[in-house]
Amino acid sequence: MNARVVALAAVCGALAAAAAPAKVFLTQAEALHLAFPDGVSVERRSAFLTEAQQQEAKKLARCPEAPDALVTFYVGTRDGKPVGTAYFDTHRVRTMPETIFVLVDPAGAVARVEVLSFQEPEDYLPLPRWYAQFPGHALDDDLSLKRAIRPVAGATLTTNATTDAVRRVLAVHRLLSAAPAASSVPK
């Protein structure tokens, strides 16, 4: 084949891959309904992290990225008692984003992790049973790959990015739970 034809085919392939839409598995509303079924009141809140809080969350999470300064989260209550707090985290896996949903129970441990969207090739997406390893884990040394969370061959970047995201969410949750109620603003 002509070198120009090969180069043109490579460019077209790269452009087609870049233009491919994200695989959407759940909407935010669907994820919130899974976490907070009928009978649970859900309140959307926002908090603004200071630079010091962002750096503290990065340190607690032991991950390369600090959380955004603006954090939006959803608090579920039943009969006035908390049942969980939900966060959505969008992060880069290899070159494209993944959005996950993390539900934190009232004790500060992971209750649920769901993939909402994934723009990398689906070959890099672990099976649902891999995500099922997170529930019950708090922000500690065991919540890491090769400890309580088993890695997946062929999805190393995804498992690293997702584990970092869950740790980051738990670190932010810990900071927000310790902060005065005035730091979060209902939306």
User: For residues 141 and 44, what is the distance between their CA atoms, to the nearest angstrom?
Assistant: 30
Mean pLDDT of the chain: 86
Delimit the domains of the chain by residue range: 21-186
> Tokens 């603004």, residue?
48
pLDDT at 16: 42
Residue type, 97: P
pLDDT at 180: 60
The pLDDT tens digits of the residues spanning 132-148 come to 999 999 999 999 988 98
DSSP string, 93-135: SSSSEEEEEEEE-TTSSEEEEEEEEE-S-GGGSPPHHHHTTST
